[in-house]
Amino acid sequence: MEPSLPAVFTQRHYVGGYDRTLKAHCEGAFLKLLEQNRQKKEPSYDYDLIVIGGGSGGLAASKEAAKLGKNVLVLDFVVPTPLGTRWGLGGTCVNVGCIPKKLMHQTALLGQAIKDAPTFGWQLDDKTIQHSWSSLTEAVQNYIGSLNWGYRVSLRENNVTYENAYGEFIGPHRIKTTNNKGVQKIHTAERFLIATGERPHYLNIPGDREYCITSDDLFSLPYCPGKTLVIGASYVALECAGFLAGLGLDVTVMVRSILLRGFDQDMANKIGEYMEEHGIKFLRKYVPVKIKQIKEGTPGLLKVTAHSAEYSEIIEEYNTVLLAIGRDACTRKIGLQTVGVKINEKTGKIPVNDEEQTNVPYIYAIGDVLEGKPELTPVAIQAGRLLARRLYGGADTKCDYINIPTTVFTPLEYGACGYSEEKATERFGNDNIEVYHSYFWPLEWAVPSRDNNKCYAKIICNIADKERVIGFHVLGPSAGEITQGFAAAMKCGMTKEQLDGTIGIHPVCAEIFTTLSVTKRSDGNILQSGC
């Protein structure tokens, strides 16, 4: 409640002209002081929310906040790669991640379908079927361009202000933006959301930034990569190696230690075995130490020197070297130290509480920059929307970071939800989990008679909780489509008994999950001879 004017200024004895002038002056001074106090208590900001980062999570949060009546600004700026590659609004997933990756994976699947087609009666007269890299990248980039434009239109339709500029904190509630022409502005906001994502990590060895590419460059590469060395064992490394080999290229993967760190290792090793059986070479326990260009061109020729603690040094030549050795959080150059936001100094990741709030109360973070959270586009989208609803819509729902379905689009696709076998054992103890598993053979692969007992299904159950399914894993075609449905069931507390009571759809791959009977503990036979 605002204070009233002091009684001395309202007494009737102010009747003379001098007294009336004095009264008006004092009233004005008091009201000015009152307004200054109000502004100190309730600062006026340019925006209710400024989102730093125009990726999937940032866009989702900004539009949700705007729908709830808030004034929102989105800042997005792509720093070019060492080779000069840059892209439009939408973040990693749309431009250099999930979308182009899935399209190129589909291209490789079509190549396999062409090989299978004659066994189904298709007569392919042209025996020299070839693939055009330039046609593929043009089609992919045209589609991505349409998505970039769609995001800009969507922001405008939702009354979100968009600025293609780099944002950097310069003080409490204040941020400086710089566009590609060097023009700077200052904006203020009541709250900020960091959604800057990550960029590929480099080796910091001679020749890496000069001659290597990353996934930021691959999907718009203006020439076919040719003989390619993929350095790394992440899902990005294996996915890229998989579809490049599917296009008929000579591909080698250089692995320092294990495949797919953080994923179920039983499944990861099966993926590696499948890829090796299908012509992808693996150099295990090697790390590159030098990359030298020996021939210019597109592609040129690179000499790679690698060391191993167990084996002798190797030197090999490749047309293209693709680095996929992890990603770095884009947090070190946005002025977080200026406003006191804590980060993990080693990784650049931002610790937050269970409501995505940093140690600075008015600054939040979502997506790949979060410490200890899955680096997945749908997770960032969900977290962003829920955050906006909590801040501005009176909701209280928090993001579930455990039961998250995902798929690795390797040649043998891998879908997963919940705990890996290693994490389940660590969390519940080996005696408290039961693992049911089986190989299966997709009917589509039976006629060409290929890859029997390569596809694999596994569920991990918590014995103490009525054998509730806490881990779901599948290797096979359409793994993502399968996993998405079972993830919903897991959110509802699906048990092994409920799975057994579900009638399968015959003959589909997902049917195997309604008939699992052999446990790892029993060491029974899980090989299949047919559908």
The pLDDT of residue 528 is 83
Cβ neighbourhood burial of 436 (10 Å; 0-12, 13-18, 19+) = buried
| Structure confidence at residue 40 (pLDDT) | 53
pLDDT band with cut points at 50, 70 and 90 for residue 1:
very low
More confident residue, 307 or 35: 307
Which candidate in 13, 201, 473, 506 is catalytic? 506
Q: What is the pLDDT of residue 15?
A: 39
pLDDT at 180: 95
Q: pLDDT tens across 123-171, in order?
A: 998 778 899 999 999 999 999 999 999 999 999 999 999 999 999 999 9
pLDDT at 360 over 70: yes
Mean pLDDT computed over every residue of the chain = 93
How many Å apart are CA 301 and CA 347, to the nearest integer? 33
366: helix, coil or strand? Answer: coil
Which CATH number among 3.40.640.10, 1.10.20.60, 3.50.50.60, 3.40.710.10 corresponds to the domain 47-200+328-392?
Answer: 3.50.50.60
Average pLDDT over residues 373-397: 97
- Phi, psi at 418, each rounded to 5°: 85, -150
Question: What is the distance between the alpha carbons of residues 379 and 394, in angstroms, rounded to a whole number?
Answer: 21
Which tokens hold the place of 167? 């944002």
Tens digit of each residue's pLDDT (9 = 90 or more) over 401-457: 988 999 999 999 999 999 999 999 999 999 999 999 999 999 999 999 999 999 999
Q: Which fold has domain 413-514?
A: Enolase-like; domain 1 (3.30.390)
Q: Name the band, by pLDDT with cuts 50, 70 and 90, for residue 354.
A: very high
User: Is the confidence at residue 2, as pLDDT, over 50?
Assistant: no
**Which residues, at least 6 apart from 189, have a Cβ–Cβ distance to it below 8 Å?**
45, 46, 47, 48, 49, 50, 73, 173, 175
Q: Which of 247, 197, 253, 195 is nearest to 225 (CA)?
A: 247
Contacts 24+ apart (CB under 8 A), 306-311: 306/254, 309/285, 310/285, 311/285, 311/286
Give domain 208-325's CATH superfamily: FAD/NAD(P)-binding domain (3.50.50.60)
Domain ranges of the chain: 7-41, 47-200+328-392, 208-325, 413-514
pLDDT at 41: 53
**Residue 386 CB coordination number (10 Å):** 23
Domains 47-200+328-392 and 413-514 share a fold: no
Instruction: Please give the average per-residue pLDDT across 64-80, as a whole number.
Output: 98
Does residue 315 carry a pLDDT above 60? yes
To which residue do tokens 């720093």 refer?
79
Q: Each residue of 319-336: pLDDT tens digit?
A: 999 999 999 999 999 999
Average pLDDT value for residue range 448-468: 97
Q: Is the pLDDT of residue 285 over 50?
A: yes
Predicted pLDDT of residue 423: 97
- State yes or no: is 25 an active-site residue: no
Q: b/e for 129-146, b at 16 or more Cβ within 10 A?
A: eebebeebbeebeeebee
232 has a pLDDT exceeding 60 = yes
| Average pLDDT for 361-379 | 97
Confidence class for position 17, pLDDT limits 50, 70, 90: very low
| Structure confidence at residue 12 as a pLDDT band (50, 70, 90) | very low
pLDDT of residue 7: 41
pLDDT band of residue 380 (cuts 50, 70, 90) is very high
- pLDDT band at residue 18 using 50, 70 and 90 as cut-offs: very low
